[in-house]
Structure 1
Amino acid sequence: MTLLADLLSTVFERRYDRLGWRRVADDRPFEAMTMDLMGATGEVSGVTVARSILDRFAAAEDAEKLGFFRHLAEDMTISPSAVRDALSAYESGQTKSSYRSFMVAAEPPRQELIRRLNQVPGATKALVAMRADLLRLGRGEAALEALDIDFRHLFMSWFNRGFLVLRPINWESPAHILEKIIAYEAVHAIDSWDDLRRRLQPADRRCFAFFHPAMPDEPLIFVEVALTNGVPSSVQNLLIEDRAPLAAEDADTATFYSISNCQAGLASISFGNSLIKQVAADLSAELGGLKTFVTLSPIPGFSHWLEEETGSEDTPDPDRLKALAARYLTKAKRGDGLPLDPVARFHLGNGAEVFKLHTQADTSDKGMRQSRGVMVNYLYNLDRVSRNHERFASTHEIAMSSEIRALSSAAEKFSA
């Protein structure tokens, strides 16, 4: 895939070179440059201006970037009166022409600007980085949050599942990809190349990532998988240095123990659901002995909730700790009725069920700090994920095992 991407990139760049396109420094205000791009009728002139805008933005300081975003938000937004007039015309006569006019009025010009920026080879990666800056700089500013809706709308189309490519990551993968796996790992830090080797090289370890053809050397999200006998109860045991690898064909359980989103500019563009289900399907096809698909997941909000719930920073005894963790995962809710815990929202939204809880499961500093060492297995029962997903989406019903249900009930007794 990388070779093909390099070849296509070279072809495109040579094509533009033959047509007279070159990088040109442009120090005009962004307002003048965006006006030129929106008015460009020739392909080469449009690409030249788009490239200049992207280069200028990438080199800009935060204040100039913020000015660019405000220009898009304030000067390239919709006209409410034009939308009302177009809607009124459509209501009066629902014709092809009136519908087209309404759609044009309802779409802010900045969406077309972003599309035109994306004409440039390599622009998709630059636009993802641009949105990362927008999320960082625009928090709390209503007009910029509206601008982000436009970025997100376009990205959800550009990065839909049909365009994503699932690639296995192993010890033979290119070094620049492996370096990014180390850098992007967000759950259990990879401390060294030896640590990475232990996660990729043994026969009972797997790693898979989604890539996009427009960003072939940038993983979007990746999952690390341990093939085990039985459901694991400790991440340290999974990552231990000296262990005897299990023959892959002898495993009966696939454990997703780390899922990391890689691109800040793709926040809220969901890949995890498709990734887990695709990996589970592929592993099932490869290894017929796999019967169980679970996670070994952190509970990042548990410690904070526990202190508020108990009024103490002390860690309860293991039985009470496990019961309170069950209560947190199944009863603690946000104002919208969804689980308070972000990892729970993710997996339950994918159709998983809360399956098992383990104390002393993550004894790292981070694990003890965020969840007092407690971890949870979410079960992906491939026969029930669709039903679980529908119930969670429609009524926020949380699928759980009988063990978790009993623990959650026991927490009420501890609190009484």
Structure 2
Amino acid sequence: MINSTPEWISRSVSRLRSVVPAADKAAGGDGTASKPADKPARAAAADGSVTDVVAKTAVPRSTHERLVATLRRGQEALSPRALRRLLADLQEVVAPQVSELEGGRRAQAVAQWYTAAQPEERRDMWLLMCEQFAPDATRFKSARQRYEAAAGTAEEGQAEISLRRALVSPRTRLLQRFAVFPEGMRFLVDMRAELLPLLKADKRLLALDAELEQLFSTWFDVAFLELRRLSWDSPASLLEKLIKYEAVHDIRSWADLKNRLDSDRRCYGFFHPRLPNEPLIFVEVALLDRISSSITPLLDEAAAPVDITRANTAIFYSISNTQTGLRGVSFGDSLIKHVVETLAAEFPRLRTFATLSPIPGFRAWLGKNAPAMLERLDDKRRAELGRAVGFEPPQAAHFLAAVDKPLELDAKSPARQMLLECAAHYLGRDLQDGKPCDAVARFHLGNGARVERLNWGGDPSAKGLKQSYGLMVNYLYDLKRIDKHRAMLAQGKLPVSGEIESLLRG
């Protein structure tokens, strides 16, 4: 939601600027850029063909240039004639005289062409969407000048309306028409998933990505989503998707899945009415009598189910997003809130809501920050650690080698204690752009949780050891302090428990 008109204007102007083709900017309007030729093009010089070399070393032409050309150049996928035909088809989708239903039918025909097209031909369609369906910059400039002139007068409201309308691109209408036909939403989500990996290499596509993300943020707002419980009685096709999309702890078999859906477990997902059999995100929950310190018993298929009448703790041990194309659309925090409310209504005895979470970025972070962490030790601690690792004074390489097999470390090992302190610092002190460095911490702390406890050997799997030396962390959702924790985070302070605080003090 837009908080203020100045903020909206600033963000909207930024969006409009991103739409201007980078090539036009670089060349002062003639549609060519000054980027060096790519490697394959340079390698073509060995063929000795001047024509081929020129064609392959030429910088990419804009769709404006290609549409008025006669011949295809170099690596271009669609010929100018085919490009003009595709543009005409896209324009027919949003023709003013065409109804919503007919526009959707025409969009479906384009989608069918897209499905059969080669990757580079699909990219040509994206480029047409970016460059041929952009906002009218002249109209925007005029509307902006009118708005600025009307500021503080009775005409300000009407001027703002005109400015808003000037910022609505034909591309928005085009994408809306694609969402009309039955599989249209699926088509758009999959199209963005295909588009995302190419954004760094081709900045011309950024405008289309930004438009899709903005539309998805509206279309997939939590108000339009349905929370559904997934159980062993759910359709097999849906259960297969849980196996496919599980991103935290791989589901190894149907027996493994059945264990995760047993009587003492719950699994909930958010669904959209246009994607009725596709969970957008799902969470797995274990009902216990205490906060769990290890993932092993939770995944143990032979373990007896907990008596849920005695359960007082709900442990969220896996949260998985399923749709790459919805990257940037946040509904995980709403999922947890809805699940907490649902569980509390079903099990009034539940008092504790916490996670058992991985620390995916810890090993990589420590590899870079171990020297700085060792510098924090006083002489006594440094000497103790040196004796433990066999080198005095200990260097970062010595410490990292000593903790490389963490499960073999004794409970009183100085190296083990140092590793725990480093993890506490990583989760409870280290910030990047005012936010937690770790992606999972960023998610849960952003939702109002706090760092509660580190668990040694919490995930002894190969993946757990590779990511975080086997460490796992509990994030606690104290329902009475969620707003307080969010306020702390906004001030640049990460909320942690007394146990974590003691580790931070060393």
Superposition pairs for residues 124-273 of structure 1, below 5 Å? Answer: 124-200=185-261, 202-273=262-333
Which stretch of the first structure deviates more once superposed, 85-94 or 360-369?
Answer: 85-94
Could you tell me which residue of structure 1 aligns to residue 418 of structure 2? 320
- Residues 453 and 497, structure 2, Cα contact 8 Å, conserved in 1: yes
For 1:298, give the aligned amino acid.
Answer: P
- CA offsets 1:203-237 (integer angstroms, 9 cap, x no match): 21110000001100110000000111111110012
How many residues in Structure 1 have an aligned counterpart in Structure 2? 382
Task: Please give the secondary structure, in 2, of the residue aligned with 1:396.
Answer: coil
Q: Residue 376 of structure 1 is aligned with which of 466, 473, 478?
A: 473
Residue 140 (structure 1) shift: 4.3
Residue 395 (structure 1) shift: 2.0
For 2:503, give the aligned amino acid.
Answer: L
Could you tell me which residue of structure 2 aligns to residue 351 of structure 1? 448
TM-score by length of 2: 0.73
- Residues 66 and 137, structure 1, Cα contact 8 Å, conserved in 2: no
For 1:375, give the aligned amino acid.
Answer: M
Residue 314 (structure 1) shift: 2.1
Task: Please give the secondary structure, in 1, of the residue aligned with 2:436.
Answer: coil
Detail structure 1 runs of 4+ shifted over 6 Å in the superposition: none
- Residues 221 and 259, structure 1, Cα contact 8 Å, conserved in 2: yes
- Residues 315 and 321, structure 1, Cα contact 8 Å, conserved in 2: no
Aligned pair 1:88/2:148, yes or no?
no
Task: Give the Cα separation in 1 of the matches to 2:502 and 2:366.
Answer: 19
Q: Output the aligned Cα RMSD.
A: 1.7
Task: Please give the secondary structure, in 2, of the residue aligned with 1:217.
Answer: coil
- CA offsets 1:333-352 (integer angstroms, 9 cap, x no match): 22x12111111111111111
Task: Please give the secondary structure, in 1, of the residue aligned with 2:358.
Answer: coil
Which stretch of the first structure deviates more once superposed, 179-188 or 103-112?
Answer: 103-112
Could you tell me which residue of structure 2 aligns to residue 32 of structure 1? 88
For 1:323, give the aligned amino acid.
Answer: E
Task: Please give the secondary structure, in 1, of the residue aligned with 2:296.
Answer: helix
Residue 292 (structure 1) shift: 0.5
Task: Give the Cα separation in 2 of the matches to 1:140 and 1:330.
Answer: 35
Structure showing greater radius of gyration is 2
Could you tell me which residue of structure 2 aligns to residue 62 of structure 1? 119
Could you tell me which residue of structure 2 aligns to residue 3 of structure 1? none
Residue 96 (structure 1) shift: 5.7
Residue 121 (structure 1) shift: 1.5
Could you tell me which residue of structure 1 aligns to residue 79 of structure 2? none
TM-score by length of 1: 0.88
Which stretch of the first structure deviates more once superposed, 52-61 or 240-249?
Answer: 52-61
Task: Give the Cα separation in 2 of the matches to 1:315 and 1:173.
Answer: 47
- CA offsets 1:65-116 (integer angstroms, 9 cap, x no match): 2111111112222233321211112333436653333222112221111011
- Residues 255 and 294, structure 1, Cα contact 8 Å, conserved in 2: yes
Residues 62/88 of structure 1: CA separation in 2 closer, same or farther (3 Å cut): same
Superposition pairs for residues 382-401 of structure 1, below 5 Å? Answer: 382-392=479-489, 394-401=490-497
